Amino acid sequence: MELALNQPAPLLKRLSWFDWLFSAIVAAGGFYALSRFGEYMDIYEKGILLAAIPAISVFGWFWKPFRVLFIVVGAISLFSIIQYQGSLARMEQVFFLKYLISSQASIMWMCALFGLATLAYWVGLLARSEFTLKTASALTWSAVAMGFIGLMVRWYESYLIGTDVGHIPVSNLYEVFVLFSLITAMMYLYYEARYQTRQMGAFVLLVISAAVGFILWYTFDRGAHEIQPLVPALKSWWMKIHVPANFIGYGGFSIAAMLGVGYLLVDRGILASRLPKPEVIDDMMYKSIAIGFLFFTIATILGAMWAAEAWGGYWSWDPKETWALIVWLNYAAWLHIRLVKGLRGPMLAWWAVIGLFVTTFAFLGVNMFLSGLHSYGTL
Amino acid sequence: MNTVSHSFGKSVFELMSSMRFAISLLSILAVASIIGTVLKQAEPYNNYLIQLGPFWFEVYEKLGLYDVYHTVWFLAILTFLVASTSVCITRNAPNFAREMKGFREHVTEQSLNAFKHKHEAETTHTPEALAASAQRYLEGQGYKVKNLPREASVLLAAKAGSWNRLGYFLAHSAIVMICVGGLMDGNLIFKVQQLLGYKKIETRDIPQSQVPAISRLKPSNLSFRGSVQIPEGSSADVAFLNVADGYLVQELPFTVGLKQFRIEHYTTGQPKSFESDIELFDLAGKKVREATIAVNHPLIHDGVAIYQASFADGGTHLTLRGWNLFSPTAEYFDVTGSVHQNTELTSVAGKYTIEFIDFRPFNIENMGGDVQPSGDTMSVLGGSPVSENKHLRNVGPSFQYKLRDARGQALEFSNYMLPLELDGRWYLMSGVRETPNDAFRYMRMPLDAGGDIDSFMRLRGVLLNAALRPEIAARFARQALPENAWNTEIEAKLKFSATQVLALFAEGGFQSLGKFIEDKVPAAEGEKAAGTYLRILELTAFEALQIANRQNGLPPPKIDDATGWLVRDTLNSMSDMFVYGAPVYLQLAQYDEVKASGLQLTRSPGQNVVYFGSLLLTLGVFFMLFVRERRVWLRIKPGHALLAMSSAKHTIDFEKEFTLHAQALDTLAK
Ligand code: HEM
């Protein structure tokens, strides 16, 4: 009478040899970094590094494709770094670096691949071609890999410019836009596999393409890709966790907004036969906002703790802080609306779409139009 | 009567705890918060007055828009949020707690049949056997299961994800906790004291020691956030709190002394670190602590956190050379002063006050104009993220001062200590402007071969000296004319012209010459005349330089490009002198820098409450959003099983799970 029901086995038994290999690689990399660079790290940075080992391992077990991504990015980044032989000049001389895997080249490849992926998602959607949609996913994966390689190599390049200049590439608008594209794409890829529907990629990749457009404009028009040293206010280990947490939040909210657009179209009968059912889109939207909200909550709290250390107060009603609060309240309201019967459906979708404007203003508008402590104008 | 008020109270309670009310509050709070980000907060009131005009200034002030987040109405919204959340918790608490504990084992067959998610199966197993295997299955799926045997049947009541409910408590009490913590650190107590007339904001600009007790806060004050600027070698035992259009003096429980303040720079000139070496003394004057603080590395002492917040000049001592620009001699006089202080100046042109404003040891200037990023795609594609801007350069110290005349009018000056290279030649620069909103206009004084402005000053003196004009004119005429024209009418005419040009120039520079030509020469010949006059001016100036050198026992000037440029630049510079706005130029000879460090001092007892609340909030949000609460019942009678499932939130995951359990039941029942 004992049957083969798919009872979940204990976690550790569910792991394959590849899971273990992955964890071993992560741990080896982590400990190597610690032994090699430990003397330049403060206690918090060591803590973050050590905590990252189990966190990355478990994340890889939880989301299998991440293991491959991690290993590929790690291997190619290392290959690139070795090519440099400690000299920035080789960036212009070595073929691989110049055209493929110097930071700038990889990021430009990322941009191109995201553009192609967007195109492919739309063609796949309109032509109902499963193959094209699969290609689109593959292109998105490659873009993510190239983007991460770009950031890793950029991190290394910053130290080649000067040991006091070197820093993790999450410190200015250019770098965080790359990060935003990558995180949003990864979150989307996760949902894509989870819900087994690729059609919504056409919408989500639009917001990533917009970010890519911004990166390109910013690079060509403003030369924003140049690595600048950190102002003293940003020299803190808090930055390393505050910024990425923030961008998981922004990523989740952006995906939700684009799903909202899809929902509204389906609701009006546009593309309805090609897109998933409204319930599915709604569910995805809820999931993205939920994960976004959790991380945005964490990021705001981390931000407050950092502010307490840098500016002498955990909350100063500085425009950036205040707008973070506004964004947060907005999505708290959204989550509550879902719990009120009768306010489901298009209303929620509209709210999610408008939420993106609020979020974008908090992310970009504040930097552009409002001045405050976050502008680092003084000290 | 009693029932009316009872039902009124009840409807308020229901309204406050309703979801719609919560959504409205969250939205209202969000919108209200926007105001303070659009209007810059806590600026000097004068700025608002200029920006808004007197009418709107007062309206805005009444509404408290200059400090929105501390106004009564904003605090009222927050209070509503806290009240609403508290009421909501109180209302839901009993139910939720019961739900978390209970298994809802009293469901009837009837109610199970009414479930939307239900599944029936025929079975050959005995109720007990099936119940046992189903229990094992459900437990494997993460459920807590209660086995309730009834006569001739079994009921399994199972639940999972109860922490979802716990999450609700955590997150919503966290909101209350964070608001309370924030309130503890706000200035509520002061506001009440101010309302009752115990405390008053100081608006006068007076020395700290003269601020009366009504505007001072004792060291025992529980919560404050103030700042103070301490020059190197000095100390402070108070901090200043900015409130509305004035300030309060916060007495500290210790004295902070600043030993040294340091700025380090990257090679590109951007600041790399700001650090202060500080010492702390108790109120009896005994040293208790020594530490170095930096941005992102505060010191916490006695419950007060000390932060590196800003920096300024702390009263640098300046040794200056004063040059009387309009004196016919070239001697300077000595002037000394300190930043933030005034020095009286009695010059030939009257009495002046020098108000020293600032001193900057470094000035990083972009000496090459903006670098255009290349629009070439390939250069960026394979391009380098290494910054190309090599034009940033430290051009050395400068100091700023205001020169106020006897009538109280003042101009602002900014003088560089070191010469700057412009167009391949070196100059000393002095900038002047009327108001802080203007850009500086620069007078550039040429350097001589020795790297000094002495030649310029001497030549300037000779050119202004009316007594020397006949000699200059004579020398010029002899140089200009062939020997056979000496002592003729022509020579006399030339001498006259030269004297006239020199006199005009000494009166008002090129402008005077221009005006003279405009007035006296027919328009058609104006340009030609101007050319002639300029030529005369340059040549006479060269003769003047000869005289200047002779007077000072120097060899005659060489006839080369350098001398040519010296003469031309001197003329330009002199012409600028007339619009410079001051009769003296102050040259920085020496300085003894004193820096001041801006510290922020805070005591915030609410911080730990807020942090603890934040932890609860994070956990709470996680449990609420990622732990799904659901329940399963399995009623097994001989030959028949009924599975029912429910959850507070129906998601796709729930549907999937239900299907899974239904299939499992089919398998088990077989
Ligand atoms: C800043 C303030 C608030 C935040 C951040 C917040 C956050 C949340 C979150 C994240 C949820 C879960 C939503 C979901 O499961 O999809 C929730 C649920 C809920 N909130 Fe709030 N909330 C806040 C204020 C309030 C207020 C003021 C009330 C009451 C008037 C309230 C009542 C509720 C209720 C009744 C639930 C449903 C709980 C359940 O059935 O699981 N919340 N809240």
Interface of A with B in 79-108 (CB under 8 A): 88, 91-92, 97-99, 102-105, 108
Report CA(A335)–ligand 1 centroid distance (Å).
8
3-state secondary structure of B466: helix
Determine if residue A17 is left, alpha or beta; phi over 0 gives left, psi from -120 to 50 gives alpha, anything else beta: alpha
CB count in 10 Å sphere of residue A16:
11
Task: Give B131's contacts in chain A (Cβ within 8 Å).
Answer: none
At B188, list the tokens.
Answer: 């509520």
Contact present, A176 and A215 (Cβ < 8 Å): no
Q: Specify the residue for token string 């920035």.
A: A88
Does the beta-carbon distance from A5 to B668 stay under 8 Å?
yes
- The whole-angstrom separation of Cα B242 and Cα B67 is 11
Measured in whole angstroms, the distance separating CA A366 from the mean position of its chain's CA atoms is: 20
- The whole-angstrom separation of Cα B169 and Cα B192 is 32
Identify which of B644, B593, B5 has the alpha carbon closest to the alpha carbon of residue B260: B593
Selecting from B22, B137, B382 the residue whose C-beta is nearest the C-beta of A336 gives B22
Query: What percentage of chain B has pLDDT greater than the value 70?
Result: 95
Task: Give B387's contacts in chain A (Cβ within 8 Å).
Answer: 226-228
Instruction: Report the alpha-carbon angle B184-B189-B194, nearest 5.
Output: 155
Does the beta-carbon distance from A325 to B296 stay under 8 Å?
no
The angle that helices A65-84 and A173-195 make with each other, rounded to 10 degrees, is 150
Chain B: nearest CA to A317, how far in angstroms? Answer: 8
- What local confidence, expressed as pLDDT, does residue A142 receive? 98
B19 to chain A, any CB pair closer than 8 A? The answer is yes
Q: Can you say whether the dihedral through the CA atoms of B230, B231, B237, B240 is positive or negative?
A: negative
Q: Specify the residue for token string 């299907």.
A: B659
Chain B: nearest CA to A133, how far in angstroms? Answer: 23
Contact present, B48 and B65 (Cβ < 8 Å): no
pLDDT band at B5 (very low <50, low <70, confident <90, very high): low
Identify which of A23, A140, A160 has the alpha carbon closest to the alpha carbon of residue A80: A160
- What local confidence, expressed as pLDDT, does residue A231 receive? 87
Phi, psi of B456 (to 5 degrees): -60, -45
Phi, psi of B294 (to 5 degrees): -145, 170
The torsion of the CA quartet A239, A241, A247, A250, rounded to 10 degrees, works out to -100
What is the pLDDT averaged over residues B533-540? 92
HSE-CB for B445 with a 13 A CA cutoff: 26
At B237, list the tokens.
Answer: 């035992």
Determine if residue A142 is left, alpha or beta; phi over 0 gives left, psi from -120 to 50 gives alpha, anything else beta: alpha
At A373, list the tokens.
Answer: 């402590």
Q: A31: which residues sit within 8 A by CB, 6+ positions away?
A: A53
| Total number of residues shown for chain B | 670
Chain B: nearest CA to A26, how far in angstroms? Answer: 27
Report CA(B20)–ligand 1 centroid distance (Å).
11
What are the boundaries of each domain within chain A?
231-379
In chain A, what are the helix, strand and coil shares in percent, each to the nearest 5?
Answer: 80, 0, 20
Does the beta-carbon distance from A313 to B225 stay under 8 Å?
yes
- What's the one-letter identity of residue B400? Q
At B646, list the tokens.
Answer: 């429910």
In this predicted structure, the answer to whether residue A376 has a pLDDT above a threshold of 50 is no
- Looking at residue B202, the DSSP 8-state letter turns out to be B
At B185, list the tokens.
Answer: 């650190």
Q: Measure CA of the first residue to CA of the last residue in chain B; give whole Å.
A: 66
Contact present, A315 and A229 (Cβ < 8 Å): no
HSE-CB for A50 with a 13 A CA cutoff: 9
Q: Specify the residue for token string 């470094």.
A: B362
Interface of A with B in 321-350 (CB under 8 A): 322-323, 325-326, 329-330, 332-333, 335-337, 339-340
Interface of A with B in 285-324 (CB under 8 A): 286, 290-291, 293-294, 297-298, 301, 304-305, 308-315, 317, 319, 322-323
Chain A: nearest CA to B410, how far in angstroms? Answer: 27
For A236, name the nearest residue in chain B, comparing CA atoms only.
B296
- The whole-angstrom separation of Cα B76 and Cα B83 is 10
Q: Specify the residue for token string 């199970």.
A: B112
Mutate to test the interface with B, among A315, A316, A318, A334 (most CBs of B within 10 A): A315
pLDDT band at B68 (very low <50, low <70, confident <90, very high): confident
At B69, list the tokens.
Answer: 């987040």
HSE-CB for B188 with a 13 A CA cutoff: 14
Does the beta-carbon distance from A310 to B307 stay under 8 Å?
yes
Identify which of A72, A326, A291, A116 has the alpha carbon closest to the alpha carbon of residue A208: A116
- The whole-angstrom separation of Cα B643 and Cα B155 is 10
Highest mean pLDDT among A164-178, A221-235, B10-24: A164-178
Q: Specify the residue for token string 């107590």.
A: B189
Contact present, A327 and A257 (Cβ < 8 Å): no
- What local confidence, expressed as pLDDT, does residue A374 receive? 47
Identify which of B367, B553, B560, B333 has the alpha carbon closest to the alpha carbon of residue B449: B560
Chain B: nearest CA to A286, how far in angstroms? Answer: 9
A365 to chain B, any CB pair closer than 8 A? The answer is no
**What pLDDT, in 10s, does the model give residues A173-229?**
899 999 999 999 999 999 999 999 999 999 999 999 999 999 999 888 877 888 888
HSE-CB for B161 with a 13 A CA cutoff: 19
pLDDT band at B8 (very low <50, low <70, confident <90, very high): confident
For A151, name the nearest residue in chain B, comparing CA atoms only.
B385
- What local confidence, expressed as pLDDT, does residue A277 receive? 93
- The whole-angstrom separation of Cα A97 and Cα A101 is 5
Secondary structure element (H or E) that encloses residue B264, with its range: strand B246-265
Mutate to test the interface with A, among B165, B175, B241, B295 (most CBs of A within 10 A): B295
Report CA(A336)–ligand 1 centroid distance (Å).
6
Does the beta-carbon distance from B617 to A297 stay under 8 Å?
yes
Task: Give B373's contacts in chain A (Cβ within 8 Å).
Answer: 220-223
- What local confidence, expressed as pLDDT, does residue A271 receive? 92
- Looking at residue A39, the DSSP 8-state letter turns out to be G
pTM of the entire predicted model: 0.87
3-state secondary structure of B638: coil
- Using most ligand atoms within 8 A of CB, pick from A328, A329, A339, A348 the residue to mutate for ligand 1: A339
Determine if residue A158 is left, alpha or beta; phi over 0 gives left, psi from -120 to 50 gives alpha, anything else beta: alpha
Task: Give B376's contacts in chain A (Cβ within 8 Å).
Answer: none
Q: Of all protein residues, whose CA lies closest to atom 17 belonging to ligand 1? A: A336
Does the beta-carbon distance from A232 to B651 stay under 8 Å?
no
Identify which of B586, B580, B545, B548 has the alpha carbon closest to the alpha carbon of residue B565: B545
What is the pLDDT averaged over residues B407-422? 92
Task: Give B268's contacts in chain A (Cβ within 8 Å).
Answer: 228-229
The strand pair at B216-217 and B246-265 is best described as: parallel
Mutate to test the interface with A, among B18, B34, B35, B37 (most CBs of A within 10 A): B37
Selecting from B274, B383, B607 the residue whose C-beta is nearest the C-beta of A379 gives B274
Name which of A287-291, B378-382, B521-525 the model is least confident about. Answer: B378-382
Mutate to test the interface with B, among A309, A328, A341, A374 (most CBs of B within 10 A): A309
Contact present, A180 and A251 (Cβ < 8 Å): yes
**What pLDDT, in 10s, does the model give residues B231-263?**
999 999 999 998 888 899 999 999 999 999 999
Identify which of B18, B183, B176, B180 has the alpha carbon closest to the alpha carbon of residue B82: B176
Q: B353: which residues sit within 8 A by CB, 6+ positions away?
A: B342, B343, B344, B345, B403, B404
Report CA(B89)–ligand 1 centroid distance (Å).
10
Burial B235-247 (b: 16+ CB within 10 A, else e): bbbbbbbebeebb
CB count in 10 Å sphere of residue B102:
14
At A262, list the tokens.
Answer: 């899809």
Strands (E), B434-583: 441-446
**What pLDDT, in 10s, does the model give residues B168-215?**
999 999 999 999 999 888 878 888 888 888 989 999 989 999 999 999
Strands (E), B266-416: 271-281, 287-294, 299-301, 304-313, 317-324, 332-338, 342-347, 350-360, 364-366, 392-394, 398-405, 410-416
3-state secondary structure of B26: helix
Partners of residue B242 on adjacent β-strands: B247
HSE-CB for A296 with a 13 A CA cutoff: 26
Secondary structure element (H or E) that encloses residue B121, with its range: strand B117-122
Report CA(B168)–ligand 1 centroid distance (Å).
7
What is the pLDDT averaged over residues A263-282? 94
Chain B: nearest CA to A234, how far in angstroms? Answer: 8
- What local confidence, expressed as pLDDT, does residue B156 receive? 94
**What pLDDT, in 10s, does the model give residues B547-569?**
999 998 999 998 899 899 999 99
Report CA(B629)–ligand 1 centroid distance (Å).
15
Q: What is the mean pLDDT of chain B?
A: 89
Interface of A with B in 17-76 (CB under 8 A): none
- What local confidence, expressed as pLDDT, does residue B83 receive? 93
- The whole-angstrom separation of Cα A281 and Cα B173 is 32
Q: What is the mean pLDDT of chain A?
A: 91
Instruction: Report the alpha-carbon angle B265-B358-B599, nearest 5.
Output: 65
Q: A109: which residues sit within 8 A by CB, 6+ positions away?
A: A100, A143, A146, A150
- The whole-angstrom separation of Cα A234 and Cα B470 is 68
For B138, name the nearest residue in chain A, comparing CA atoms only.
A7
B242 to chain A, any CB pair closer than 8 A? The answer is no
**What pLDDT, in 10s, does the model give residues A78-107?**
999 999 998 888 888 888 888 888 999 999
CB count in 10 Å sphere of residue A224:
19
In this predicted structure, the answer to whether residue A379 has a pLDDT above a threshold of 50 is no
Identify which of B427, B431, B430, B429 has the alpha carbon closest to the alpha carbon of residue B452: B427
For A154, name the nearest residue in chain B, comparing CA atoms only.
B385
In this predicted structure, the answer to whether residue A6 has a pLDDT above a threshold of 70 is no
Does the beta-carbon distance from B614 to A233 stay under 8 Å?
no
A113 to chain B, any CB pair closer than 8 A? The answer is no
Q: Of all protein residues, whose CA lies closest to atom 16 belonging to ligand 1? A: A335
**What pLDDT, in 10s, does the model give residues A334-352?**
999 998 877 888 999 999 9
What is the pLDDT averaged over residues A25-45? 94
- Looking at residue B386, the DSSP 8-state letter turns out to be B
Ligand 1 neighbours by CB, cut-off 6 Å: A 332, 335-336, 338-339; B 17, 19, 21-22, 25-26, 81, 84-85, 88, 92, 168, 171-172, 175, 621, 624-625, 648
